[in-house]
Structure 1
Amino acid sequence: MSRIAYVNGQYLPHTDAAVHVEDRGFQFADGVYEVCEVRNSLIVDLTRHLDRLDRSLSELRMASPMDRKAMTVVIREVLRRNRVRNGIFYLQVTRGAARRDHFFPAADTAPTLVITAKSVDPSIARKKYETGIKVITVAENRWDRVDIKSVGLLPNVLAKQQARDAGAQDAIYIDRNGIVMEGASSNVWIVTPDGALVTRPAEHGILRGITRTTVLDVAASLQLSVEEREFTAEDMLAAREVFFTSATGTCVPIIEVDGKTIANGHPGTVASSIRDAFFDIAEKTAI
């Protein structure tokens, strides 16, 4: 079955879906996006994802292409047309197509909206949960407003490729003071030697991950000790557990950083317990 994409009011075969050559997302990365998990035909944390989309649009002074009710209808229809039971949808909004100019286009320029969806084999994630992943650290080199979920992801692309070239699966940004920022497409957590669950505060230095927010709810339900504070690369290497959270991976254990083994080199129990409880706590919206 051919995949179907939604582009500016039309449902199109994936191979025919396109935007204008002067779309500002293409010319300037002048756009924002969201990625949301679908599990067992349920959309995970849709409200929080759409809340963050609204915030990103507001921060960039960009108009929403439609109201939330209409957007939810389109998201569901894209998922149905692609027969996604387990997978993701990707939503991108740009400032629209206009003559190339750094200034904002005319106020009546219509935003561009693209929504795609694809199925993902759940066994791929399960393998990561069972084995853990290896990561490298890279120097922070992104713009200061990573709290906006912008499509300007070139530093992230380069970090991911650097990790692959090093035989790892992902990368973690470290600032000039040795402080852990976040992953190339995820938030970072550690479990300290005394059992505290620690993640960086979600201010402008990192993206306020939706999965991160729900994991805080999960941790409260499990009565885990949680600290939102900065931690260093050295703290990470000394941790009992290190893991990523993201919409596409939920809670992925990290067993090695820069060639150094974390704890006993196996996924830990805290990440596992959070993952087991996650979908009981997360909001679930039927397709």
Structure 2
Amino acid sequence: MAELNGNPISLEELQALALTNYGHFTSMQIEDGRVRGLDLHLKRLARDCRTVFDVELDTKRVLELARRVAPVSGAAVVRVSIFDPALDMGHIGGDAQPQVLVTTRPAGDLPLPPLRVASVEFTRDLPAVKSVGLFASLHHRRQAQRAGFDDALFVDRQGLVSEGGTWNVGFIRDDRVIWPAADYLVGTTMELVKQVHEHVVLPITLPEMPTFDAASLSVSLG
């Protein structure tokens, strides 16, 4: 299902998102009508809307539109994308009137099995924003999978571990979570873990990784 501002999205409106591909989003797994960290998702949308469009987002309206399509039972993923169909590549600097696109898809299997990852030097554009432009992240994931791995782990130019394509990574030592000190998107699952578990933020390099007791990824649903 796909609705733009509560109405079925037209081909022309969807084409604007596909061709210009400028906007931001969040994805939430709905389980029997409930969402973990709903307030964090809404705060992310509001924060990113200010960054991307210089506009305040009506999060109450967003919540109303998401509830329209969210199933009351079972599991599904609801994605809320914020973009302006009137903006195009030639006139991207115009005043924005962001619109709310809500889509649903079946939920994947969680938790994920252990992953084998290949490290790659890469930092996303505006790492703190969950942007709709995922080409580079998916390209590195594809290259890793074609080389026999499950996914890619990003390392910045200073050699610091940062994140995966659509997930955060934390390391465990002495029952404490150590989050990387680097530029990356702070996921909602990561925020929830911080609220209930002792943690610190430290620079982490690839040679240090074998010294940890374990590593855990926090899925950000794409």
- Report TM bin, short chain: 0.7 to 0.9
Alpha-carbon RMSD: 2.4
User: What displacement does 1:44 show?
Assistant: 1.8
Provide Cα deviations, 1:154-211, integer angstroms capped at 9, x if missing partner: 110111111211222221101223210111111111113x44320024x7x1112111
CA distance in 2 between counterparts of 1:11 and 1:84 reads 22
| Identity level (%) | 22
- Counterpart of 2:69 in structure 1 is 78
The number of aligned residues is 222
Structure 1 gap ranges (5+)? 250-287
**C-alpha contact (below 8 Å) 1:7/1:17 kept by paired residues:** no
Query: Residue 42 of structure 1 aligns with which residue?
Result: 34
Matched with 2:118 is 136
Amino acid at match of 1:85: G
What is the correspondence of 1:200-215 to structure 2 with a 5 Å cutoff?
A: 200-201=180-181, 205-215=183-193
Flag the 1:38–1:189 CA change in 2: closer, same or farther, 3 A: same
Q: Provide the rounded CA distance (Å) in 1 between the counterparts of 2:13 and 2:159.
A: 41
Instruction: For residue 47 of structure 1, report the CA deviation from its aligned partner.
Output: 1.0
> 2: CA distance between counterparts of 1:232 and 1:31?
32
Q: Which runs of 5+ in 2 are unaligned?
A: none
User: Does the 8 Å contact 1:200/1:231 carry over to 2?
Assistant: yes
The one-letter amino acid paired with 2:133 is: G
Measure how far apart 1:45 and its partner are: 1.1
Out of 215, 218, 222, the position equivalent to 1:245 is: 218
Specify which of 142, 158, 176 is matched with residue 196 of structure 1: 176
- The question of whether the paired residues in 1 share the 8 Å contact of 2:13 and 2:85 is answered with no
- Pick the aligned partner of 1:228 from 170, 195, 201: 201
Output the CA distance in 1 between the equivalents of 2:195 and 2:179: 13
CA distance in 1, matches of 2:20, 2:11: 20
Bigger mean CA offset, 66-75 vs 170-179: 66-75
- Give 1:120 shift: 1.8
Q: TM-score, normalised by structure 2?
A: 0.88
Deviations along 1:37-60, one digit per CA (max 9) or x if unpaired, are 212321221111010111001012
2:221 match: secondary structure:
coil
- Does residue 181 of the first structure (1) align with residue 175 of the second (2)? no
> Matches of 1:132 and 1:228 in 2, distance apart?
23
